[in-house]
Amino acid sequence: MQCYSISSNIQFAIVFYPQTHRRGCFQPTRISVTPSPPQQIEQRTSHDATRSDNSKLITSASNPFVKHCLKLRNSSSYRRSHASVLLVGSTPIREIYRFEESSQDKNVTMDCLILPDKAEIPNGLDGSTDSIVRVSSIVMRKLSGLQSTDSVDAIALMKFPASFLNLDDNQKHCRKWFSSAHRILVLDGIQDPGNLGTLLRSAVAFRWDGVFLLPGCCDPFNEKALRASRGASFQLPIVSGTWNHLESLKEESQMKLLAGHPENEGLIKLVSLLSPSFCESISDAPLCLVLGSEGSGLSEKSLQACELVSIPMTGEYESLNVSVAGGIFLYMLQPKNK
């Protein structure tokens, strides 16, 4: 049974998820969460139907739980304030829990699983959560952000993974950021969420130890980044910080700084070629690979601080899309014997 209770001045919102009757509270920005009097718990939001099995079906997009989920999908600041994210589709959800089963570190928490009314729980997600919320097709379409929900069989409301860190100026204990710092991908102002999500997925595929986001990068929990990463945002450590933090990591772990950059005559610095012999020469060295933004490339700081490496190409192409180039770099420089 699900009950939603809202005071007349909209100061609180309380959710009971079905099956366990566990109370899940969400706290909108500048809205306090308070206990609900017993007589108010049984009040129901209009347009939500009581089903014959005494569970609750959410049919209205104005339902407070639906509004909360929509804010999580659309607002980066709201996601950060609640440390929660909406993940659409059973495939990325299943991949996350498959990874969790094979990992020693359990850092993923699902608050609830949102399913279309009368739909079966997707295979592989039966034991992922005790809390199920049923919604109408209209609400499912609203929550997914897709015009057609034929392929959307599940949506998960999840906490940020424990492996995600948003550093402040005082956090310099870099040994705690990554369990291993042999291969770290550094993204410098990557603004396209599709490119960022693809790079995260490639980093997981080629066994890199984590990703460091410099200022100017888009939110890795943006809905488009999540869709492109297919759950990779939950499968490797992601640290968001500044160049000061990155330099602390470099010094602490004695890391080389490499940066992908096309070879051209205008550069003062020498540009090495990404060849098998070059990769072999640094295979044992801990390193950070820096990739610049789609439009302006590497920042001035990255150009100054990093050894530049280019992908040899035939023809007259100056550069590749950053997610394509990044995939090549990540494959060629992937850790050996891991």
My answer on whether 172 and 309 are in the same domain is yes
Do the beta carbons of residue 188 and residue 299 sit within 8 Å?
A: yes
Total domains in the fold of the chain: 2
Containing structural domain, residue 95: 64-159
Q: Dihedral of the CA atoms 151, 47, 25, 9 (nearest 10)?
A: 140
Last residue of a domain, one of 126, 143, 159: 159
pLDDT of 265 reads 55
DSSP SS3 for 35: coil
pLDDT, residue 305, reads: 93
Residues 316 and 202 placed together within one structural domain of the fold? yes
What amino acid occupies position 211? V
Is 338 a domain residue?
A: no
In a 10 Å sphere around its CB, with 0-12 CB exposed, 13-18 middle and 19+ buried, how is residue 34 labelled? Answer: exposed
What is the structure's pLDDT at 170? 67
Tens of pLDDT along the chain (338 residues) come to 444 433 333 333 334 333 333 333 333 333 233 333 333 323 344 445 545 444 578 999 999 999 999 999 999 999 999 999 999 999 899 888 888 877 766 778 888 899 998 888 888 787 767 788 999 999 999 999 876 667 788 999 999 998 999 988 667 677 789 888 899 999 999 999 999 999 999 999 999 999 999 999 999 999 999 999 988 999 999 999 999 999 999 999 999 999 998 877 566 678 899 999 999 999 999 999 999 987 888 999 999 999 999 998 876 666 789 999 999 999 999 988 76
Same-domain pairing of 171 and 151: no
Is residue 220 within 8 Å of residue 213, measured between CB atoms?
yes
- Cut 0.85: pTM above it: no
338/283 Cα distance (integer angstroms) = 12
DSSP per-residue letters across 222-262: SHHHHHHHTTGGGTS-EEE--HHHHHHHHHHHT-EEEEE--
Are 320 and 229 in the same domain?
yes
Residue 29 domain flag: no
Distance CA 111, CA 90 (A): 15
The per-residue pLDDT for 203 is 97
319 and 237 both lie in a single domain: yes
Please answer whether residues 270 and 301 qualify as being in contact, where contact means their C-beta atoms are separated by less than 8 angstroms.
Answer: no
At residue 86, the pLDDT reads 94
Per-residue confidence (pLDDT) for residue 331, from 0 to 100: 97
Determine the Cα–Cα distance for residues 283 and 285; give it in Å rounded to an integer.
Answer: 6
CA distance 165 to 233: 12
Q: Are 176 and 324 within one domain?
A: yes
Q: What residues contact residue 291 under an 8 Å CB cut-off, 6+ apart? A: 185, 186, 187, 188, 190, 199, 259, 260, 322, 325, 326, 329
